[in-house]
A and B are shown apart, each in its own frame.
Chain A
């Protein structure tokens, strides 16, 4: 009798554990319903190509589809498997991607921020070098040398940049500035003068979000750039960088004062909510990447009428870039098709199809400027003529382990405004610079 009791107990436990396991497995439903990748290359003229990205809505998806259309024209018999996972900045997508890579089932090509973010994939031996491919396609001639230098790691180029976004942009409400006789601030000091005037009028000077967890880190990279200048700024993210530099504290002090001029409900707003405050005339300015331009347009606002743009205070003449790119998986199931895709990604035709829809500028210097709107034309010009600096928050300047620590330091700072603590946390984080 005793043994049956044990068996019963064991049976109940087994069922319970299965139920628990089933519950635990629930997040798996968010995985893309990608067909299992084929180990062998399909014969020429047929087969498929699997692309992994997190572009699922609005202009992003339109741009991607425009590229798919061209690809299908060029390669009529190839099936494109678009393994997207929704979610801003790819947070969810990267989780799924990393799981697939660990499991040895890579997609042919996946979206990754160009620059240091992809070094973790390179170090893990999951990507093929593309330096030779760049030469064959002539990409090395049409992309700015400074950009190529910044996306080179271990002497090789690893991904094809599809677009360029600018991080250090100040967006402002034109009506508020006109009514108060203000001009967009060029320097940090200007910023505080303008902010003081606006504060006295009861307008929030600077709208800052926090819910997406990158807004304050984003603001701070512009401040760092303003305080350090492009050369010293870039050095901050090299291995062994000196974060004991007194200018770090100076930047933190500036950021603290900026945050004191911002809305107090930062942590409950996303970056788009902050941009909306500017559009609604509740706040005067926000410092955000130029995807805010896409957001404003989607809300029916007109550039030059409802909102204006300028370089973030103190960063004029410097273009802080970030770039989405596609790489080639090591052991890609369909390498030939993947290379055809990468050739399209880097081509003028592909970039001019993608970028006007996505609201970004091409990584090539020979694009057809007439396809782009007023802001993007300004941005193309700036990208071609200004100094370049890589964005840290958006993966261009530093590896992911560092980005996480840097981001957390600044998010805590956004809450407690403790300059000593953030300087110490940033010094700690520098250990993750590799």
Chain B
């Protein structure tokens, strides 16, 4: 464009030239923009509209009921349980992935032999589908008729003389501490059956976090660390005051990526527990599927979908705003 400016004598021609440039650009993105406008945003709008109708059964209904469906779902014990489970799952999943991912990254980064091999080993689970992970870990965590006739991990424990470690795993019906609060139709606490699900999810995704942190670690200039060491800082001080702060943008990205996976989790839980025992591992994604396609309560299903959208938006939107701001600054 700078060239165009110097070459063209008339300002009017320059403007037209700009226009053609823009027209081509617009033409290039128009098909995808249109497709997205219809198939993503259009249908989000449609879902929002459905969620405010009284559509039940296979006949579509368009009579407007406002936020009734939202009130209904938030008042059912089942959906409250789902929200509890989602919070527990997301918190444990994020925390474990970040800690384990960082730990692995630091280990792999410490100039060990066969670094490439270990890197691949840790990242490999990410190549699997959550469906595969779910099925395999479901077998592993099926407790069998323990403690005498166990299966899976319990059997491993028994055979290796660690029988006292056997547990009910995915069939554990306890919620710890399981408080009851007036007006809340679910027990508040950590559903123990969720722990194996978190283990499976962390097994799959921590390698990915490791890869991100590894890239971050490699991006920290060695000179800064050297300077600190010359000033007499211990390795721990170097790690805490230089490495960790410089990894902060990586942590933010990891939280966003893992967070949106976690809030929309469906496939892993379907194959691993199906939401059982009771609804102790059920999340809104499963509930939405079940009330929409099994119970034919399309409006309530749409309401659950909108709640999920809002929850994910609450996580992603601040990140996008932050990103745009830094980009504009640049």
Contacts and interface: CB of A to CB of B under 8 A. Distances in A.
A14 interface: yes
Interface stretch (B52-60, B95-103, B220-228, B234-242): B52-60
B274 interface: yes
Interface in B120-162: 138, 141-146, 149
Nearest to B272: A268
A14 B29 contact: yes
Residue of A125, A204, A405 most packed against chain B (CB within 10 A): A405
Nearest to A273: B142
B32 A267 contact: no
A379 B273 CA distance: 35
A211 interface: yes
A101 to B, nearest CB: 7
A211 B276 contact: yes
Contact of B294 (A94, A102, A212, A266): A94
A301 interface: no
Nearest to B21: A4
A210 B277 contact: yes
Interface string B171-200: 101000000000000000000010000000
Interface in B284-312: 289-291, 293-297
Contacts of B146: 265
Residue of B149, B295, B324 most packed against chain A (CB within 10 A): B295
Interface residues of A, number: 51
B15 interface: no
B173 A415 contact: yes
Given A210-B276, A412-B279, A414-B278, A404 B294 contact: yes
A238 interface: no
A123 B277 contact: no
Contact of A265 (B29, B35, B143, B295): B143
A9 B324 contact: yes
Given A17-B36, A404-B290, A415-B280, A213 B58 contact: no
Contacts of A10: 29, 33
B276 A123 contact: no
B145 A267 contact: no
Interface in A93-136: 94-95, 98, 101-102, 120-121, 123-126
Given A7-B25, A18-B32, A267 B170 contact: yes
A121 B58 CA distance: 7
Interface of A: 3-5, 7, 9-11, 14-15, 17-18, 20-21, 91, 94-95, 98, 101-102, 120-121, 123-126, 204, 210-213, 263-269, 282, 400-401, 403-405, 408, 411-416, 432
